[in-house]
Structure 1
């Protein structure tokens, strides 16, 4: 049962909170309100509130004023000196980690929709607890989580306690579920989840500049997960440049927090963006960084090797691609490391195998399209079918649509346009499609157009429909 808010469960590395508590004590002892004290020293009452919560640094001149006004006989000055000494041992953050990857939004952060159910436990929807990692924890009730999230976003001086951290993670999980539902319903233009995620990310980053040492790691981990989620939504919405900015910043915050799994997720998506940009060298570099971010883990070797397979396929290197795919599958058979913080849903054996089969199908399809080798097309189709079987019904609708399109493309590369068009038919129902699916369809459309003379009017008509869909 939830009781009074608990402090964030990280070692205390400074005493700014001690100064804030002492300031609150002497203000109350003198009978002043925050507004009265703020007016006396030329500050707004919210600034006094931030000082008392340890969320703002006081200048020496201000501390001397407070000492005189409140009659603390130099106690505030001495406490402030201890706080400054502790702060001096804290290295400054790089400037780019103190800025969100997106420009400021208009107006306050919108409230999360109560209709989007918050998870009861973590990990959930690939969101880990910023305090407990993948070990699992219980979250506040939905109404409490939404209220704590709203308070955090509205008031820069609101306390950062355990329940608030859990609430921010719960709201992120709820928004990702909402985004997945929007993709399932083909409502890819929906801005609700993205607006809440990006607004919350700005609120989290605003805390980092003045955060005490014990809060830095948890705020950085929250910023990394929110930034990665924002980038994923931007990528699905067809905005690769801003998606890359979000992934790059997520990488920096995840490194600051020691969060290897979010680093791997961001690097995987950056490798995909390299492929979309027709840049196999960059895609391969990002993939290899996954191995460096999480050395010695079978899952990081599998993801890195798979990314290298995608890159070498785009470069047309058949031998290297087949070798990388074989190694990626071998990594899946290695025993998982027990007792680490890596055990999150998207790294579970079945989910990782789904990623490897999906990536293998894409790499082999790219080779088949470049070489016109039907044997490679059939191998790509086998991998795409295996990925669809692993996916199951009702899960990850965007991934299912993507794999269906890829299977159709494999049939086309195997010179079987009739089966290709039959496989593709459910996708072309006129509804909007995510950007990654539209990118996949462009290659298929080009191949239909190139083979229309051999394949007849049906191919020409399908190419025209694809042109309208993308």
Structure 2
């Protein structure tokens, strides 16, 4: 798509492309031949009149030997072109972070089956080059590559690889840990995530002290902080989780990382919602939308969280309105949206959206006693559960409890017990904050309204054995 006026980020790309082409002694026609495009496109790119086609920035970097500079301009948040000469960050960003008492790093335990070959992976783009498709170091050599980075806590140990290579390795490690810890329930991934995150922050601080903004380090630190916060939530540790989300927001803001800010705010909103504070939930939901109203995936998240906030506030009309707006924004997601939020694509995206809608409708039904709304919650949650990827066990458990609770709200305690009874022991043993909240809601409705139903009496008899 072209525009009559240069967009600032494209104009920056064009200026750098023109300078690098001239340094290489190439004409626009010669460069076009080398990268497989007509010279007229090169001319329009240099004039800032259009966005580079997907993958072209990486090929231009390769031909011109720019070390990823052009791809980094494309990957930078819109409206804030990447500039290597940006001033350093506020030193207060590197204040003490959660955790300590370093233990063995444990990178030798990374499952080779889960190791990505390229970035993006698990929604993580390269913090320097975005979505152009960066190769990652070999898994077997990664512990040695990161050895200097994870040196003694009383000093920064230096690095043994180039900056892009180290950032690629750290991103690949995080993608591998996400696949293992968040999706497959591998034990204690938080230890490795937080150890690497503290090392990454020390590296960023060392770079910052030289007068250079640690752009890639802070973008990646925001991603690590989000995963650390989510893993702490799985442990039932909301305070440490919120602390990590707060640090992540600070790092994302320092480098104007819009996608990281939007997703971190959504995690903060989820934690606030667990306290059933409608006003705070709505405030954070609106903050998500304010990050960038032009990004449809951001709008989708904002409307979903607003729907849940209005459900807590018993506002039927506004809850339903934001559900409609969320579905409308989700249906209009484009290529760029799905590059930034790949977890909203395909069946997984439908699962996430319907899960949030089901939660909002269930909360609304619980507040109003409306069984028609409860049946709509059943339908949305059942659709979400049907699209659940098999490895996401914790999410499957949460959706099962939510579906059971929706049936209880709809006046069918037998269906609720039939769904919840097989997973009761697993649910009770879970420390995950959202699962605990679903379980409390289900128990309150079953035992408070249907205690004399035979199936519920039998269910209640199991509770002492389950430790409730």
Q: TM-score higher than 0.5 here?
A: yes
Following superposition, the deviation at residue 462 of structure 1 comes to: 2.0
| Cα displacement string for residues 5-29 of structure 1 (whole angstroms, at most 9, x for unaligned residues) | x997459xxxxxxxxxxxxxxxxxx
State the Cα RMSD in Å: 2.6
Distance 1:131 1:235 in 2: 29
Structure 2 equivalent of residue 367 of structure 1: 364
Q: Matches of residues 6-155 of structure 1 in structure 2 within 5 Å?
A: 9=68, 91-107=87-103, 109-115=105-111, 117-154=114-151
In structure 1, the residue matched to 2:20 is none
Name structure 2 gaps, 5 residues minimum.
1-64, 71-83
Paired position in structure 2 for 1:243: 241
Partner residue in 2 for 1:156 = 157
Q: Is the 8 A contact 1:180 1:396 kept in 2?
A: yes
2:179 to 167, 177, 180: 177
Deviation sequence 1:213-268 (CA, Å, 0-9, x none)? 65611010111011111000001110111111111111111122332222121111
Which of residues 282, 289, 295 is equivalent to 2:287? 289
Q: 1:228 to 1:112 in 2, by over 3 A?
A: farther
Kindly indicate whether the alpha-carbon contact (under 8 Å) linking 1:408 and 1:420 is maintained by their aligned counterparts in 2.
yes
Alignment of 1:220-239 (within 5 A): 220-239=218-237
Change (3 A) 1:262 1:375: same
Q: 1:400 aligns with which of 393, 396, 413?
A: 396
Q: Is the 8 A contact 2:358 2:378 kept in 1?
A: yes
Unpaired runs of 5+ residues, structure 1, are: 1-5, 12-86
Distance 1:167 1:292, change over 3 A: same
Q: 1-side partners of 2:266 and 2:463: how far apart?
A: 28
Q: Does 1:265 align with 2:247?
A: no
Deviations along 1:136-194, whole A, 9 cap, x unmatched?
322111112232233321262215422111111111111122213652xxx7xx32x11
Separation in 2, partners of 1:232, 1:7: 37
Q: Any conservation in 2 of the 1:139–1:163 contact (CA below 8 Å)?
A: yes
Q: 2:167 aligns with which of 149, 165, 168?
A: 165
In the alignment of these two chains, the number of paired residues is 380
Within 2, Cα distance between the matches of 1:279 and 1:326? 23
The residue that corresponds to 2:406 in the other structure is 410
